[in-house]
Every structure is written in C-alpha cells, then in structure tokens.
Amino acid sequence: MIFWKKQNKKSASEEINQKLSELPQQETPQNFIYLLENYPLQQTTLSLEKILSDWSIDNILGLGKQLATLEDNKLFFKFIEQFFVCKEEPETVIFSLQILANVKSKKITDCLFDKYLEIFPAHKVDAIFSIAVRKEHPDAETIALMSGTCAIPFLWLWQKTLKNRQSKIRLETTKILGLFPWQQTKIAGLLVSLLEDKKSEICKAAAFSLARLGKYAVPSLIKTLVKKDSRTRTLAIWSLGKIGEDAANAIPYLVSSLSDEDTKVVRNAKWALENIGESARDSILESLAAVENAKQRIALLSLVANFPPSEDIVEILLNLIDKPNDDSREAVIRCLGKMKDKAKPAIKKLKKLSKSKIPAVKLAAIFALSQIEDKHQDLHPMLFQLCSDESPDIRQEAIQLTVNIAKKSSKTQRILMQSLDDKDNKVKKSAIESLPGLPEVDKKMLSKLRSYLLEDDRDLRLAIMKTMLDLDVKDYESIGPLINILQSGDDSECNEYALLNLQAIGERSVIPLMKVLGKNTKLRKQISNTIAEISEPAVPKLLGLLKGKNANIRKSAIKILERIGQPAIPGLVNALKEDNFWIKKAATIALINIKENVSEQLVELLKSDNKEWRQAGLAVLKEIHIDTLER
C-alpha cells in the first residue's frame, strides 16, 4: 500500500527526506521506487543516502533488483554509486553483482561495464573478489550465472585469481568457472592449464569444470592429450568421456591413447570411447581395420566386443584373424565369439584354430565356438586336455569352460576333483567356484572342501563358504571348521559367510554357536541374529541351555527366545512346568516380553491339576496385564 500522494517534481529535498523518515523500514522496495520516480533525479541523492544508511542489506538488495528492471539507467547508477559510498564491506561487491544479474534493460547492459569499472578500480575489485572467493561466498554461483554480456569484462579478473598463490582461492575459482554460460571456449583455455596444478584437488576440479563446459572444452582438451605428464592426460581424457557424444571430434586422439604406456590413460581412453556412444562406433571400426599396433588393436577389440553383433564387425574380424601377432589373434577370436550366430561364417577357421599348438589360441577358439554353435561334444576332448596345461591361467579358464559346456560328462567331475588338488590356488579356487554348475556334488568333493576350510589362504576359505551356500547342502561335519573360523580372527567377511553357512545347517549349529557367544563378545549380536533366524528348530536347544550354570549363556538364550517370538511360545509354556528354577524364571521373562498370543497358549496350563503350573501361568498373565480370566 502506498502511503503518499504523487508530488510535484519540484518539491524540495527536505520534504523528500521528511517523507522518507516517516516510512518504516519494512516498507516494500516498490514504494521507494514510486517515490524516486516522482521526484527530480538531482533531489534523490539525499534520499538514497538516507535509505542506504538506515536500511538492512536485504531491503537494499531488494530495492536494487527492482531498480535494475527499470529503463532509467541514470537512476540505477545513482543507486549503485551511493550503495558503495555507504557500504564499505567487501561483500558489497557480491551484493552489487547480484543486483547486476537482474538487469533487464538493454540500455543499461550496453553501458553497464564502462560505468561499473569507472566506479570500482580494477585493484579494488580484484581484492574484494579474492576475499569473496576465499570465504566460499554462498552467492558465488549467482556471479557465475549472470547472463549475456554481463560478465565478459570480468574474464581478466578470473584469470588473475586462477594464478593466486593460495590454493583455496584457485580451487573455488576453478569450480565457479565451470558454471559460466558465456565465453566457454576462452574459459576452457584457462582451465586446461590447471590440469597441471600442483594440488590434485584443483586438477580434479578443473577436469570437472571442463566437463561441464561440454563441446566448448573439446579443442582445448584434445591439445592436452600430448602432454608429458600422464596424470594430465588421464584427467583430460576423463573430461572428454564425461562430455560424451559432443566429444566425437576427439575419437581419433582417444584411439591413439589406447597405446599409451600408462595403464590409467589406456583404461580411461577405453571408458571415454564407450561413453561417447554410438557416434564412436564407425570411427572405432575404421581404426580397428587400419591399426597396426597390437596393443591398440587389443584395446579396440575389447570395445567392439560390447557392440551389438553385426555382419560388418564379423567381416573386419575375419580379415584380422590371420594377423601374425598371437596376442592380437586371441583377442580377435574371443571377439568373434561375442558376435554369437552372426559369426557362423567364421566356424571353419575357428575349428582349425581349435587344434592350434598355441594353448591360448586353442582355448579362445573353443570359447568362440561354444558361443556360436549349440552342440559342443567334439570340443570336449580338446578342452579336457587344456585342463592339464602347464599354464595356471589356461587351466583356470579351461575348468570354467568345461563346467559350462560339458557339465553332464562323467569326466568333468573327475577333472574337477583333480583340480581341487592343483598346486596353484587360483586354479583350485576356480574349481571350487565351478562346483555349483555340476548336476550333483558327491561326498568326496564335500570332504575335500571341508578340509580346505582349515587352510591359511583367506580367499580360498571365502570361496569355499560361498560355494557351500550355493550348493545348499547341510554338511554337519563342516560345523567344527566353521566355528574355528569364527574363533580364529576378525575378518568380518569370513565371519559373515561362516555364520550364513551355520544358519543354513540349522539346529545342530545352535550349541556350538552359543559356546562361541559366551566367549566372544564382539560377535554376540551377529551370533544372536543367526540363531534367531534358525527360528523354531533352535528353541529346544536354547531351552536346554537354560539348565546350564553359565549365567551369560542363559541370559543370551532368553533374549534369543524373545527374538524368535511366536514360534518359541509352545516351548516356553512347557518350560513353565520344569522344576528347575532358572528355566522357569527365564521362560516367564521371555513370555512376558513376547506378550502377543501368549494368553491363548496358557489356557491348557491354567486348567491343569498341578497347582504350581497354574501359579506359573497366572504369574505370566498378571505381568502382561490380563485383568479378567475365564474359568
């Protein structure tokens, strides 16, 4: 609501000041705009001075934003000038920039920066910007997001703060520059130099900001791929990968990076090419057909293997299969296998290669044929032979492939049994992990697995416990070794799988687990959870433990019975008939805590001729607040 009438434009400044002094601070900026618009400009200086002296920064900011929307740029600049006369704090630059971000008038925009830089000398703006950036001012993004030409003249300022000695200022500036919606190509040129900064967090922030700049950063990033420092190349490639399809121009350079000496550079180059997506497909295939470097070819093949199967890929692969480099040939063969039935024209060549004297090539050919054809019987003899190869790597893969394509063969079980005794633990582990793929696992294999639970090799023990869960066989003889694992160390993952196996075995695990619980307080919660999951079958064992002398075990058994809940009620009600004081007391406590559905199951006990039983039942009912009882 407006509290004054429109005045004559020749009113005295004293009258204006009087009107202003009568207005409360909570008046809206629109009221002041109304007042300022209706008095001559030369009479408003004192009025603005009065407002800026007395008003809160939030109200001043609101007024400035409103003034920025007007066509009268003189009035707006008058406000800006007075604003900095009255407010000396460094943050005033940030507030003024927030106001500038709201400028709508083209007239103001056209002359804004000459005037702005006239008001604020460069050295002063630079100093205040540094303070704002150092303090990580919450309005920093507002500065960065100013639209159009509003921030272009400040590029020199950001360039200067990027060279600041203080790493925190460089870091915050780097983050802000990634948000700028203008002059992105120039900004990218500034940011790429920070990929070589001494501080790793600044390098990473620069890579992220360059990725945000998108296609505008691609030319600068491509130039960076020839830098000597591998970290700089890796970060540049990462940015290109994050940019995605817009980085298609970088594909030839990324392909060249596949032969880099640094494995991180190669790994990131492969990832970047995958991220660029479908637009990279044709370029990758062209490069694959033309490239002579074996390392590059293998890296490209790993990418092509993930493409949808197609005839044009198979054609290129068939041309490459006869290349003399055996390492490359193996990758080509495996890639053909990924093409599934589209690779049927390659069957003849693959069958020939399956008889190769080079084990790696032979195994790759068998793998490819197993993916392309439905029938594999003719491959079995050659595959069985490879399971005894001198190379552990060959044996390891051959075992896995044998279970996949020859699981029904009686010889497969014999080979796996032999492999369980392999000298190389990786081969042994591979055989263990392959067992769930067999139609049936005999007692000899289970006995062998159980014996390895006592081995020192942690990965081997873990593989056995996972396999035993997959086999879903209750092996009671493995309880001892599993309990030994719980008692022998603090390996949380091994303990977890030991408990899962004991839970799967069931009620026979309860007593051994309770003994561990009585000694190992670290595993108390996990063991209690395991026994509670066994549920009703565990109840008789737990009730039996209540007769023991160990108070901690009795207490733990009660708590577990309470957690089991409903399935434990019948057993606990029967326990009220016991002569043993500790059992009766424990059962009473557990029933009181369970509460739900307890009263219905006490009915028979209350009808009993045994007075002590009736009293025990009434004691429970009283505690769970049953006020009336039917006779």
More confident residue, 188 or 105: 188
More confident residue, 64 or 216: 216
Per-residue pLDDT tens digits for 356-400: 889 999 999 999 999 998 887 888 999 999 999 999 999 999 999
Query: In whole angstroms, how far apart are CA 400 and each of 330, 384, 412, 463?
Result: 18, 11, 11, 14
pLDDT value, residue 22:
57
In 10 A of CB 522, how many CB atoms?
A: 10
Per-residue pLDDT tens digits for 243-273: 988 998 898 899 888 888 899 999 999 899 8
3-state secondary structure of 200: helix
Per-residue pLDDT tens digits for 576-597: 877 777 777 778 888 887 777 7
3-state secondary structure of 10: coil
pLDDT value, residue 133:
43
Token pair 């289970």 is at which residue?
446
More confident residue, 11 or 355: 355
pLDDT value, residue 604:
72
Task: Give the contacts of 336 (CB within 8 A, at least 6 positions apart).
Answer: 314, 317, 318, 321, 343, 346, 350, 368, 372
Instruction: Calculate the average pLDDT of the chain.
Output: 77
Is the pLDDT at 97 greater than 90, yes or no? no
Mean pLDDT of 154-177: 72
* Length reported for the chain: 631
pLDDT value, residue 613:
77
Nearest one of 374, 312, 314 to 338, comparing CA atoms: 314
pLDDT value, residue 74:
65
Is the pLDDT at 199 greater than 70, yes or no? yes
34 pLDDT band (50/70/90 cuts)? low
Is the pLDDT at 114 greater than 60, yes or no? no
- Confirm if 554 and 590 have CB atoms less than 8 A apart: no
What's the rounded Cα separation, in Å, for the pair 307 and 621? 70
Both structure tokens of 241:
């990968």
Q: Tell me which amino acid residue 188 is.
A: A
More confident residue, 216 or 549: 216
378-440 classified as CATH 1.10.390: no
DSSP secondary structure letters along 234-257? HHHHHHHHHHGGGGGGGHHHHHHH
Mean pLDDT of 207-221: 93
Q: Tell me whether residue 372 is exposed, middle or buried, using C-beta atoms within 10 angstroms of its C-beta: 0 to 12, 13 to 18, 19 or more.
A: buried
Is the pLDDT at 148 greater than 50, yes or no? no
